[in-house]
Amino acid sequence: MVSHLTKRFGDRSAFEDVSFEVARGEVFGFLGPNGAGKTTTVRTLGTLIAPTSGSAVVAGIPLSAATGAEIRQLISVMPENPGLYVRLTVQENLELFAGLYSLPSPAARIAAALETVNMAARARDLCGRLSKGLRQRVGLARALLSDPVVMFLDEPTSGLDPVASRDVHDLIASLRERGVTVFLTTHRLEEAERLCDRVAILNTRLLAVGPPEQLRMQLFRSSLVVETAVRLPAPETVFTRDMGVDKWITEGDATYVLTVADPRMTAPRVNRALVAAGADVVSIAVSHHSLEDVYLQLVDEDPEAGR
């Protein structure tokens, strides 16, 4: 769907050589720190700005200056800021967009979209009077209105309180059930991990793409956290490569974090070795890495991260 896409502003790249594919009906997470180029990617795929180089196919149509309107008819974009006309009511805002998408039976579509986001009762309210969470819901209703093939949601929960965020999450989950392809931009890891079928990690360049759990396995070997009663006199004699320990570090006074390939094999061996060495083992635990760890590792290792 996207191949070697680059966008530069002057001599500065917003994103560079980005390639990935999103399957129909997939919820695809686009994860990256602030300034990673997420919004610029959404704007490029949403045909608002032209890529500097590379190509992309959006909703089955190749991206080009001539196909912009055609693509826009099939997709919908919810920008970072929902951008509602504050002097118009919820209903009037949606009427405008129903008109812009040339929807048949707009009244029914608007009612259905408002129903989906639980805002039917607020249709007559001025948007200027709504809370941020409610505006976000109206923005989502607007994005749903045209029954798009692909929905781009740019940080839909940024700045929302936990309850409003959960509503948005539930809605995205329900979109997946309807078979809508969702391109979800976020810098919140738990959000990506919870909602997305696959995740791409971006920091100007694409660092990794895959299902959240696979990224985790691929990038991290497991860890064993070993705690002993007192500090070991010579840990290096216990935590050896022969035992299956790749690396180890001391954490705190008498806690050691071991990077291992296979914790099920290594844990009992380490235990036996520690006992043989006369140490009192308080606990040995397998530590699971979250996507967060993967993410931070990638962004940390990225030479451009410190820009």
Ligand X SMILES: Nc1ncnc2c1ncn2[C@@H]1O[C@H](COP(=O)(O)OP(=O)(O)O)[C@@H](O)[C@H]1O
The residues binding ligand X (CB under 6 A) are 9, 12, 14, 32, 34-40
d(CA 304, CA 284) in angstroms, rounded, equals 37
Q: How far apart are CA 212 and CA 219, in angstroms?
A: 11
Pair of tokens at residue 46: 């949403």
Q: Of the ranges 18-26, 83-91, 204-212, 268-276, which one interacts with other proteins (CB under 8 A)?
A: 83-91
Backbone angles phi, psi at 80, to 5 degrees: -55, -40
Which CB atom, from 153 or from 238, has the smaller least distance to ligand X?
A: 153
Which structure tokens are listed for 41? 């990617």
Query: Is the Cβ of residue 38 or residue 137 nearer to ligand X in the bound state?
Result: 38
Query: How far is C-alpha 41 from the geometric centre of its chain's CA atoms?
Result: 14
134 closest CA partner among 103, 167, 176 = 167
**Shortest approach of ligand X to residue 48 CB, angstroms?**
11
Binding partner selected for residue 50 from Mg ion, ligand X, other proteins, none, CB under the kind-specific 5 to 8 Å limit: other proteins
228 by DSSP, 3-state: which?
strand
Report which DSSP code applies to 121.
G
> At its nearest, how many Å lie between Mg ion and the CB of residue 140?
17
Residue 82 as a binder of other proteins (CB under 8 A): the answer is: yes
User: What's the rounded Cα separation, in Å, for the pair 180 and 144?
Assistant: 10
102 binding partner (options other proteins, Mg ion, ligand X, none; Cβ < 5 to 8 Å by kind): other proteins
Q: Output 87 or 272, the one with its CB closest to other proteins.
A: 87
Figure out which of the listed residues 15, 30, 97, 256 binds other proteins, where binding follows CB under 8 A: 97
**Is the dihedral angle over the CA atoms 62, 63, 67, 72 positive or is it negative?**
positive
Determine which residue in the list 21, 62, 64, 86 makes contact with other proteins, applying CB under 8 A: 86
For 143, what's the count of Cα atoms within 13 Å in the CB-facing half-sphere? Answer: 32
Which residues sit at the interface with other proteins, rule CB under 8 A? 9, 33-34, 43, 46-50, 68-70, 72-73, 76-79, 81-88, 92, 95-102, 139, 142, 158-159, 187-189, 223, 249, 251, 257, 259, 287, 292-293, 295-297, 299-300
